[in-house]
Structures are given as structure tokens and as C-alpha cells.
Amino acid sequence: MSDKRRQLEEQGLDLVPIMNLVTILIPFLLMSAQFVNLAVIDSMLPAIVESEPVEEKPDEEKLDLKVMINDKGFTVAGADKILPEEAGENGRVVPCHEDGCPTPESYDVASLTDRLALIKDQHEDEENVVLVPDSSVSYEVIIRTMDATRDDQDDRDSDNRPRRLFPNVVLAGGVK
């Protein structure tokens, strides 16, 4: 019996089967792993700092374009003297397809893009728009609105690129 014990102590552990298993498992686990995909939404947040007043030319008026989002639809607002007066106050409201906007698809983003394209025709140099969502508005609606304010997918140039409307989207806190 002491002879067998001495043979086992001299032989040591056989790690070859474990190493074979690890060699097979590592590539399999790497191939089956799903890596994280991150999407980045390019937007700016309003700065809360005191700055020196910027001198503006008195003959230039700012557009100060805002799109307010609530459960009734979109409201396009800005400097009243500058926005086109298409149909009075109702011309600035883009209602939902359904009453109360129950789903993100019920928001009429195509009409919003058309309305913003009219404004862009009059103010070609303007690139900023401020989104003011209500607290009940879902994330998907905000993203769809951001996309609708940046590009007009129906109006394309010769290179088949969409027309740029207001590429600088600022997200503001909602009003209560």
C-alpha cells in the first residue's frame, strides 16, 4: 500500500483535460456573447451660468424657436413678430391624430416637419430649436420630435441627403 501511495505523490495532477476544456470554452463564450450597443443622441442642455450680456444689433430679431410637446400635440412658438402667420394661433398648433395622444404613433410629426420647413424657408440662417416636453410625454415621442426638427426626410437634395432644418436641438424642462 505504501508503494501505491508513493506513486500517486510522485505522479502529480494531470491538468491537460482541464486545459482542453478551457481552450474550447473561451472561443465559444466569446462568439456567443452579445456586446453592448450604445446610441448617442446629439443634443445640448441649457447652461445655467451667468454670462456677460452679448451686444445684439437692434435691427436683428432672434427667432427663439420653441416646440412644446404635450398630450394634445405640438405647439410651435417663437418671437411673435417673426414666425409666419399661416393660420393665426391654430396655425402654430399641430394636433395629434387621435384625441389625447394615447401612443407615440398618434403624434403628427410629419405635419410638424412641414411647419418647421416653412419657418426654415424664412430663416435660413437659424439652426437652433428648443424642445419643451411636458412631464407626461414619453421618451420615444421626444426622440421622434428631435428627428423631425433636425431633418426633412421628404425634401432631399441631388445627393439624396435630407434637407437640414434645425440641427441644434436643445432640450428644456417642461412648464407646469
Tell me if 87 is assigned to some domain. Answer: yes
Tell me if 83 is assigned to some domain. Answer: yes
Q: Which residues fall within 8 angstroms of residue 109, CB to CB, at 6 or more apart?
A: 144, 145, 147, 148
Q: For residue 124, what pLDDT is reported?
A: 85
Q: For residue 8, what pLDDT is reported?
A: 60
Q: Are strands 66-70 and 162-164 parallel, antiparallel or unpaired?
A: unpaired
For residue 7, the enclosing domain spans: 2-32
At 47-63, the pLDDT tens digits run 666 656 655 555 566 77
Nearest Cα neighbor of 128 from 102, 150, 106 is: 150
Measured CA distances, 111 to 74, 75, 160 (Å): 10, 11, 21
Tell me if 50 is assigned to some domain. Answer: no
- Whether 70 and 151 map to the same domain: the answer is yes
Q: For residue 55, what pLDDT is reported?
A: 59
State the pLDDT confidence band at 119, using cuts at 50, 70 and 90.
confident
Are 139 and 104 a contacting pair, CB within 8 Å?
A: no
Tell me if 112 is assigned to some domain. Answer: yes
Q: How far apart are CA 129 and CA 165, in angstroms?
A: 9
State the pLDDT confidence band at 64, using cuts at 50, 70 and 90.
confident
At 16-31, the pLDDT tens digits run 999 999 999 998 888 8
Q: How far apart are CA 130 and CA 123, in angstroms?
A: 16
Q: For residue 21, what pLDDT is reported?
A: 92
Local structure of 106: helix, strand or coil:
helix
CB atoms within 10 A of CB 106: 15
- DSSP structural state of residue 22: H
At 68-95, the pLDDT tens digits run 888 888 888 887 655 655 544 545 788 8
